[in-house]
Structure 1
């Protein structure tokens, strides 16, 4: 079952039958993985082209800051940190490159696939103890952390709650009335605003719930709370 009664945007709870196999990343895509793409293609992210991104210190509002991008954050990061400052367009180009390099179909997840993987068979707000599983507002120190440092869910997936928001293929709708029931992405919409899932290190627990989702402009590089989790299609 997908959705929740907790918010009108998450209604109605509805059954989705995913009648195909797919593989989803054990972790969020890392700086190491993303840098291989950049080095091979000389691709410039939207944040690099515009020479700024949104940043946040502590609990204050987001502010624009010059020269912030995936390799230049206001804190020290390792190659095992999630790649961030990634727009939806950047994410799609990364998937396109990976697919060409591997000969496999690598893409962003649909919302249905993402929620199915995040829940890992659970029906509660979270797939486990949020303090053991997630980096969020009250334990993150207001920064991202290397992937796979917290406890995974029952399917051995890390950071599906918190650390960074994860882009999906779906476009935003006001609720799930008319949503696909076969696991595919809901790409037809009145506005071009891709969905993000999972919450991030700056958010309180409400935003990290398995059913929660938000939208963003596809060109938005909402600083270092915005990343990627990859899917490999088995077809």
Structure 2
């Protein structure tokens, strides 16, 4: 599913090179639920961004679903991401002017699915997440846990092969954390979607099949 080989990411700060990733080698199997842990500043978010194709590595190879991301550019890369990767962020990033179902529909509309079909699938996804009755509410009318579940539904909109979740429970209470992680594990188990979760929370790690620790841009142990 995912192969990273000798991945470095170096940022320029004036005249100084600041490495965020240092020769990362990592493989993630189809249908695996992996947790990446590490202290703040260890490169966890950078690693997710590189896997998602949101940021290009300085050197090394990133292969997702059999495709070397360096072979894709611009709109082609964006389309690959829309079709294959669902993204969940710590702060849900829902658009405030749209309802829950409209937020879920956005990735489908970006791939030119007709509006009515996108609406039907959005409602179906929200129903699966026990949010059908909140479909017409805007984000400010939802609880933190509900907003994050809408974000997960949005990530699932285009039937991705992979979900990348960056601190998806970081701003939630305990009950909401368990609900979101239970949902991600259910998607992983029932749909065979690979899930990579970045977290510093041991509760989140307990839902994963495997935990990788990232320290100073390097994989410390598996």
Q: Which has the higher helix share?
A: 2
TM-score, normalized by length of structure 2? 0.28
Q: Which has the higher strand share?
A: 2
Compare CA radii of gyration and give the structure with the larger one: 2
